[in-house]
Amino acid sequence: TRSKTGLLLVVLPRFIHSGKGCSSLSTGGRCKTNRTSMLGQQADRVMALGEWEERWQQDRIGFHQPEVHKMLENNIDKVLNGRTGVCFFFPLCGKAVDMKWLADLGHSVVGVEISEKAIQQFFEENNMTYSEEPVPAIPGAKVYKNSEKNISLYQCNLFTFSSSIEGQFGAIWDRGSLVAINPGDREKYADLIISLMAKDCRYLLDTLLYNPDLYQGPPFFVPDEQVHSLFGSSCDIELLHSEDALTDKQRKWGLDKFTENVHLITPKSN
């Protein structure tokens, strides 16, 4: 609906936490209506894997940050929760410098990324020697490891990865993954992430709020209600921080409001 001022008011439905993206009482049509009302014009947006690889080849990687992400740095104690030597999972890792930062702190890192260039640049830009080998369990995939063997980056489709490859993880840092995958794949994504969470896992999730009818993404709009519908049936969810993240970049996208939220998601004890 639109207010008298012409601003779009996005009405977000409340979901029954069935672990899916809509109420378990809903019909398929009702679910589609709910999803569309939440995501606006982004609901059926699809980006092929080749488009992401093309962005890396053309260095159109405005999403890459050259410094450790402040949301991770500011909340690292909550993620670690007193633990040492934690194994972190990075979905759609790119060449995030956060991975080296965590490894230097004594943790280990496993990442998944479709772009071979991104993975190679990570090791080269951080002056790391690395090895490359095939992954028998994932046809066509390769894994790159630094000489210390505390960083392993898999070059493959994220949805071909599973806990049978590297086990489950004590922590997950999701800065630009849920906001990057196609909105229609979010339920499949949540199922994968939950399957990768160890009992003591602490999953730090960064999401973005803005008017999805003004910008087609990526990064995509992920409302808090959908975070709860995706993960709330099996996990506890805490909103750690919310801040105005609007910059000139988002203004060029046509936005006048842009909020960054960070959530801590942990498996329910029962």
68-99 confidence digits (pLDDT tens):
999 999 999 999 999 999 999 999 999 999 99
Report the 3 state secondary structure along 25-42: CCCHHHHHHHHHHHHHHH
Mean confidence (pLDDT) of the chain: 85
Task: Tell me the pLDDT band of 15, cut-offs 50, 70 and 90.
Answer: very low
Tell me which H or E stretch contains 73. helix 70-80
DSSP string covering 184-247: GGHHHHHHHHHHTEEEEEEEEEEEEES-TTT---SSPP--HHHHHHHHTTTEEEEEEEEEE---
Residue 158 to residue 190: CA distance in whole angstroms: 12
pTM above 0.95, yes or no: no
Does position 105 have pLDDT exceeding 50, yes or no? yes
Domains, the chain, ordered by start: 65-267 (3.40.50.150)
Please state the rounded mean pLDDT for residues 140-147: 97
Residue 109 to residue 126: CA distance in whole angstroms: 15
């949301």: which residue's tokens?
71
Please state the rounded mean pLDDT for residues 134-139: 96
235-250, pLDDT tens digit by residue?
A: 999 999 999 999 999 9
Between 52 and 24, name the one with better pLDDT.
Answer: 52
DSSP three-state, residue 84: coil
Between 156 and 33, name the one with better pLDDT.
Answer: 156
Neighbours of 80 (CB within 10 A): 18
Predicted local distance difference test score (pLDDT) of residue 21: 40
Residue 257 to residue 244: CA distance in whole angstroms: 8
Between 235 and 9, name the one with better pLDDT.
Answer: 235
Tokens of 4: 């008298």
Does position 22 have pLDDT exceeding 70, yes or no? no
Least confident of 63-72, 105-114, 144-153: 63-72
Between 30 and 255, name the one with better pLDDT.
Answer: 255
Does position 55 have pLDDT exceeding 90, yes or no? no
DSSP three-state, residue 112: strand
Calculated CA dihedral for residues 113, 119, 180, 62, nearest 10 degrees: -170
Predicted local distance difference test score (pLDDT) of residue 56: 58
Predicted local distance difference test score (pLDDT) of residue 134: 97
The answer for residues whose C-beta is within 8 angstroms of residue 185's C-beta and 6 or more apart is 159
State percent of the chain over pLDDT 90. Answer: 73
Residue type (1 letter), 258: F
